[in-house]
Amino acid sequence: MSLEAKTEQQIVIKQSISHPKESKLKDFLSILMLNKAAMVGGIIILFYIFIALFAPLLAPFDPYEIKLENKLLPPSADHWMGTDDKGRDILSRILYGSRLSMGVGFAAVSFGSFFGIIFGLVAGYYGKWVDSIIMRAMDVMLAFPGILLALAIISALGPGLMNVTIAVGAFSVPLFARIVRGSTLEVKRLEYIDAIRSLGANDMTIIFKHIFPNILSPIIVQGTLRLATAILSAAGLSFLGLGAQPPSPEWGTMLSNGRDFLFSAPYIALFPGLAISILVLGFNIFGDGLRDAFDPRMKK
């Protein structure tokens, strides 16, 4: 890397610190526009949101209506993705299912980020024993491998989409808490926070009006990437029969059903899985792009 390029980066970083709001947003948007991958990710997400909003208008059939005379039809002009063992149109079910998958994803991440952000802010801002207690608790939550914490929670609360949302949300609390705490520590060190404090601002004002807006970017990046994982986890739990229950058109549930017909009608399992993969891919690409856009140091 040339010296020139280094100084250039430093300038970018300096600028983004000195003008926290406007120019940062503008910079961010322009970098995001340049990042083709992020654009692709964003378009995929918008496409799914569009489908979720207009599922009733887009779906050619009733997703719940059982027509046994139509069962296990392979993809055709009538049924683009075929029909399942009860003669329901898979395309229509997938379109409706987008509401469930994204709904659960957004709800779980909102829930998880809400608590994670509060824990992280409090731990980072107050430090000392408050920090120790909160962060050790977060370490404990992270000591559960993968979705096992979510499984334990569901085993207690019982199956169901609502409980899956809580379980998946709980599982992302420590991840948000860690990131928020780290960023809070960084922002807290900035001189202007001292200046505001010396002007007599109380802790709440400092935390929510001055620190929080400054740490939004890592939260948004993490939130986007967590959405991808949350959707995957929730679908996985439904696949195990612990989330949405049949006849719900939730994608994981549909996949679980399709598994019984893997030999005779593989398309029943193929399409819901494809729907999940592409949506998750969208969030992952978008999250990667956001990270590049927010953090010039991370750029190639």
8 binds another protein (CB under 8 A): yes
Name the minimum Å distance from CB 9 to another protein: 12
CB under 8 A: which stretch of 62-70, 88-96, 152-160, 201-209 binds another protein?
152-160
244 binds another protein (CB under 8 A): no
Q: Which of 144, 108, 50 is nearest to 226 (CA)?
A: 108
Three-state secondary structure string covering the chain: CCHHHHHHHHHHHHHHHHCCCHHHHHHHHHHHHHCHHHHHHHHHHHHHHHHHHHHHHHCCCCCCCCCHHHCCCCCCCCCCCCECCCCCEHHHHHHHHHHHHHHHHHHHHHHHHHHHHHHHHHHHHHCHHHHHHHHHHHHHHHCCCCCHHHHHHHHHHCCCHHHHHHHHHHHHHHHHHHHHHHHHHHHHCCHHHHHHHHCCCCHHHHHHHHHHHHHHHHHHHHHHHHHHHHHHHHHHHHHCCCCCCCCCCCHHHHHHHHHCCCCCCCHHHHHHHHHHHHHHHHHHHHHHHHHHHHCHHHCC
Q: Report which DSSP code applies to 91.
A: H
133 binds another protein (CB under 8 A): no
141 binds another protein (CB under 8 A): yes
165 binds another protein (CB under 8 A): no
Using CA atoms of 289, 176, 229, 216 in order, give the dihedral in degrees to the nearest 10. -30
Name the minimum Å distance from CB 108 to another protein: 16
135 binds another protein (CB under 8 A): no
Which of 21, 128, 136, 189 touches another protein by CB under 8 A?
Answer: 136
User: Closer CB to another protein, residue 102 or residue 228?
Assistant: 228
String marking each residue 265-294 x if it binds another protein according to CB under 8 A: -x--xx-xx--xxx-xx--xx--x------
CB under 8 A: which stretch of 12-20, 53-61, 117-125, 253-261 binds another protein?
253-261
300 binds another protein (CB under 8 A): yes
User: Closer CB to another protein, residue 152 or residue 220?
Assistant: 152
199 binds another protein (CB under 8 A): no
Name the minimum Å distance from CB 284 to another protein: 5
Name the minimum Å distance from CB 205 to another protein: 33
143 binds another protein (CB under 8 A): yes
User: Closer CB to another protein, residue 130 or residue 141?
Assistant: 141
Sign of the CA dihedral 116, 118, 121, 126?
A: negative
For another protein, the binding residues (CB under 8 A) are 1-5, 8, 136-137, 139-141, 143-149, 151-159, 228, 232, 235-236, 239-242, 252, 255, 258-259, 262-263, 266, 269-270, 272-273, 276-278, 280-281, 284-285, 288, 300
